[in-house]
Amino acid sequence: MTDISAVLQRADTNFDQSLERLFELVKVPSISTDPAYKAECRKAAEYMVTTLNDIGFEASIRETAGHPMVVAHHDAASPDAPHALFYGHYDVQPVDPLNLWENDPFAPALKELEPGRKVITGRGTSDDKGQLMTFVEACRAYKDTHGSLPIKITILFEGEEESGSPSLMPFLTANTDELKADFALVCDTSMWDKDTPAIAAALRGLVGEEVTVIAADRDLHSGLFGGAAANPIHILTKILAGLHDENGRITLDGFYDGVEETPSNVKASWETLERSSSDFLGEVGLSIPSGEKGRSILELTWARPTAEVNGITGGYTGEGFKTVIAAKASAKVSFRLVGEQDPAKIRESFRAYVRSNIPGDCSVEFHEHGGSPAIQLSYDSPVLTKAKNALSEEWPNPAVVIGMGGSIPIVGNFQKTLGMDSLLVGFGLVDDRIHSPNEKYELKSFHKGIRSWIRILDALAKK
């Protein structure tokens, strides 16, 4: 029996106890956004400190202006082993509306959805208590078997992820030297499907802008002034329509600077995932893909930049009808970024484009709504390759490397503040109902998640 086999066997033998420890954590209603649950958030943090200390970590609570952080350290058997920072969050979303829950959200239980398919029910089972405990229990199995860990590990658990992480950046900045490692491990994402593990190697960045076009000094009667006075709604909608050309490409100057084509082998692997336009769009009642022509759905949502209008206001929008020419009109516009696109340059290019299309007797105002660059882990990164191979050993189907259309701020924070890339490996499923009533986590995901981290830790320790 090899060393890794012994650790995997220990995880299997002790799985019932691992499940009990997860249940104890889920029972704590650590709702970070509601001040009424402040004491419960601390209770969850204290539970994690106790759990980690039991394994042999040096764990402690770290105070912040909000809910506390949990920080823990454990050395590796070899001084030459790599050093990883593992991140998760112990806080959860509110449970409202409570009447839609089939069971008490903080009374975790096992439920059989169908023959052979059991799930763990309760708030936070998938997001993120079940996920973070897969890693903790993998470390426990390693310690129980060998008395040591294969790599050096620092753990950071926060209690405000579900309420915007207001304390995170100040904490990272104040504790950079302590938290810095060779790379970060994040377990807060999903698998491709129930039998196919996934590693997220790319996260799109974001630029948010609010633009207001101002014309006359008041709303005007459309009979008296129509045809003569500038209409800011006309001006604004023409500007917005001009953001894309007939092929779906974005027209801003320099917009595609830093955007590289996805490697052909990666695109080929995405094609094997067999997600068609009709499958993807059919879920929301659509069928015809938008965006750049000649691109697959996965490429459009994972690897290409976007410009989207998120809202437009102007003029009279109440009940009935009012014949006015509005004095002003506004729109909220967001850009999803990829590769090396610079958020500041994208913002300025957008503003320059808008200003160039404003009539001389009108004006424009802008309001910034944040900006962050894209995150891209090299597709041939040794860390990614080792993790992919390790996952493929555990699950029925080989692991796939995917992108993510949205943004995960913590990954950008780790890169910007700590200078570390992040490996995102998660074991959630799209139907886990996170943030919704009746959240669940597959029992198989929890069990094989523990085994997966054991394999990954073993792989990362090897040269």
pLDDT digits (tens, 9 = 90+) for 179-199: 999 999 999 999 999 999 999
pLDDT at position 443: 98
Those residues with Cβ within 8 angstroms of residue 40's Cβ, 6 or more apart along the chain or in another chain: 28, 29, 30, 31
pLDDT tens for residues 128-143? 999 999 999 999 999 9
- Which of 10-14, 122-126, 234-238, 264-268 is the least confident region? 264-268
Amino acid 92: pLDDT: 98
Percent of the chain at pLDDT above 70? 100
DSSP secondary structure code for residue 404 in this structure: E
Nearest C-alpha neighbor of 182 from the set 151, 206, 212, 158: 151
63-84: average pLDDT: 96
Domains and CATH numbers, the chain: 3-199+378-461 (3.40.630.10), 205-259+305-372 (3.30.70.360)
Q: What is the mean pLDDT of residues 156-173?
A: 96
The 3-state secondary structure of 35-68, one letter per residue: HHHHHHHHHHHHHHHHHHHHHCCEEEEECCCCCC
Whether the per-residue pLDDT at 2 is higher than 60: the answer is no
Please compute the mean of the pLDDT values over residues 344-362 and round it to a whole number: 98
pLDDT bin (cut points 50, 70, 90) of residue 300 is very high
What is the pLDDT, as a whole number, of residue 283?
82
Q: Which residue has the higher pLDDT, 415 or 29?
A: 29
Q: Write down the pLDDT at residue 276.
A: 81
Q: Does residue 1 surpass a pLDDT of 60?
A: no
Percent of the chain with pLDDT over 90: 86
No. of helices (H) and no. of strands (E), the chain: 15, 18
Is the pLDDT at 269 greater than 90, yes or no? no
For 258-267, write each residue's pLDDT tens digit: 999 998 988 8
Q: What does each C-alpha distance from 366 to 68, 178, 208 come to in angstroms?
A: 36, 39, 10
Range from 285-294, 374-383, 435-444 that averages highest in pLDDT:
435-444
**169, pLDDT greater than 50:** yes
Rounded to two decimals, the pTM is 0.86
